[in-house]
Amino acid sequence: MKVVFFGTPDFAVPTLKKLLQHPAIEVSAVVTQPDKRRGRGNQLSASPVKSVAMQHNIPVWQPQRIKKDAEVLAQLQKLSVDVFVVVAYGQILSQEILDIPRRGCINVHGSILPKYRGAAPIQWCLYHGEAETGITTMLMDAGMDTGAMLLKAYTPIQLLDNAQDLAQRLAEIGADLLIETLFKWERQEIQPILQDDSQATYAPLIKKHDYLLDWSKSAIALHNQVRGFFPNCVTHFRDESLKIIATVPLGAAYWSLLPEFSFLEHTLSSLSTPAVTGEVVSIAKGIGPIIQTGEGLLLLQQVQLAGKRPQSGWDFANGSRLTVGEKLRSYASTGS
């Protein structure tokens, strides 16, 4: 089976590696996003997918806008491959491109479609507190993740999973599901299922205001925001920006899910004075500060001060000489 692989970030790498390892599959070429400048040195850096392709001496094409690149389109047509495999490529494919391969274009999408169509399905499913997610393979059409579905695989979401954890797990699941999909599709053992558009939800690109924490929200809503938009959520601390990287919601609803934190139940039961939102109500020894939210308490497990490296909540509390009664202030969400 001859395929061309379209993909860019780390999420796409396990699928590419599985294709390269399979004796019955030939990866004829890889299409990925152009190199970008990254890091303090502002050096041009290859995408993770390009790096893997180069290690295996696979031809790599990096069009700025694939729909407008006549040379790349001509090369794709000359290859005469069976399938285009697309995993988090980052550009929309035109109908002209979708029509090139003999057996169509198959996409590996990081949600259970039709829920969470769009660019950031993993982040938004965490933000909305989903208990389960998965991978859908689908035949691509000209819409945004609207094609007919082929196979699905599911995975539960644990309370402390963040977007990075979940993406790594889903990337491995997606790699296996894609291989299964390719051969079942070739043998005509899959009947494509049209998506029910009435059940569709969307996962748009994350914007700057999505990172801003509002302490009047509930502890679980804040926790889901922090882990969904990991590691970029921010609050105000002493007139400076403070990233909140990892949190733990505390209370009766969570002790059974988080037995390693259940010893804090005694600490919380001793709190008697009502606190205002954003206030430090306690500092758990060896762990970190506990913050009053609009509903419930939130433990800060890992944070990052502006210009500093990430640190545990406990090191932050000690290093900043944090005291009970201090407040973290919400950013005003302007929608910008």
Is 143 found in the same domain as 90?
yes
Q: What is the CATH number of the domain that holds 228?
A: 3.10.25.10
> Which amino acid is present at 31?
V
Q: Is residue 144 part of a domain?
A: yes
Number of domains the chain contains = 2
Domain boundary (199, 218, 238) is at 199
Q: In terms of domains, do 279 and 138 share one? A: no
- What is the number of other CB atoms lying within 10 angstroms of the CB of residue 182? 23
List residues forming the annotated binding site.
Answer: 111-114
Residue range of the domain that includes 293? 208-319
Q: Is residue 25 part of a domain?
A: yes
Residues 128 and 192 in one domain: yes
CATH number (domain holding residue 60) = 3.40.50.170
* Residue 134 in domain: yes
The pLDDT score that the predictor gives to residue 333 is 45
> Is 124 inside a domain boundary?
yes
- In this structure, is residue 215 part of a structural domain? yes
Q: How far is CA 184 from CA 15, 138, 180, 191, 317, in A?
A: 17, 13, 6, 10, 55
Residue 335: the pLDDT is: 39
What pTM, to 2 d.p., does this model score?
A: 0.94
Q: How far is CA 75 from each of CA 93, 100, 106, rounded to the nearest angstrom?
A: 15, 11, 19
* Residue keyed to tokens 């057996």: 103
CA separation for the pair 300, 246 (Å, rounded): 6
State how far the Cα of 297 lies from the Cα of 172, in Å rounded to an integer: 34
Same domain? For 168 and 278 the reply is no
**What is Dmax (Cα atoms) for the chain?**
74
Query: Is 327 inside a domain boundary?
Result: no
Counting every residue, how long is the chain? 336
What is the DSSP secondary-structure string of 263-285? THHHHHHT--S---TTBEEEEET
> How confident is residue 268, by pLDDT bands cut at 50, 70 and 90?
confident
What is the edge-to-edge ordering of all strands in the sheet holding 60-61? 60-61, 26-31, 2-7, 83-87, 105-109, 132-139, 149-156
Kind of pairing between the strands at 2-7 and 83-87: parallel
- Which of 21, 155, 193, 182 lies closest to 86, judged by CA? 182
pLDDT at 274 over 90: no
Residues annotated in the binding site for (6S)-5,6,7,8-tetrahydrofolate, as ranges? Answer: 111-114
Residues 105 and 213 in one domain: no
Are 143 and 43 in the same domain?
yes
**How far, in Å, are 49, 57, 81 from residue 73 at the CA level?**
20, 21, 13
List pLDDT tens digits, range 28-63: 999 999 998 777 677 888 999 999 999 999 999 999
CA triple 135-7-98, angle to 5 deg: 85
DSSP bridge pairs for 38: 43
* 25 and 170 together in one domain: yes
Same structural domain for residues 234 and 183? no
3-state secondary structure of 145: coil
Confidence check: pLDDT of 267 > 90: no
Looking at the fold, whether 152 and 263 belong to one and the same domain comes out as: no
pLDDT digits (tens, 9 = 90+) for 64-81: 999 999 999 999 999 999
Final residue in a domain of this structure, among 172, 199, 226: 199
* pLDDT at 271 (0 to 100): 81
pLDDT bucket at 277, cuts 50 / 70 / 90: very high
Pair 97, 40 in one domain: yes
Domain identity same for 65 and 171 = yes
Q: Which range, of 44-58, 228-242, 271-285, averages the lowest pLDDT? A: 271-285
With respect to residue 139, please indicate whether it lies within any of the assigned structural domains: yes
Mean of pLDDT over the chain:
94
Whether residue 223 sits in one domain with residue 178: no
Q: Please say which residue of 160, 175, 199 terminates a domain.
A: 199
How far apart CA 182 and CA 169 sit, in angstroms, is 20
Identify whether 272 is part of a domain: yes
Residue-level pLDDT at 332 = 60
How does 293-330 read in b/e, with b if 16+ C-beta sit within 10 Å? Answer: beebbbbbbbbbbeeeeebbbbebbeebebeeebbbeb
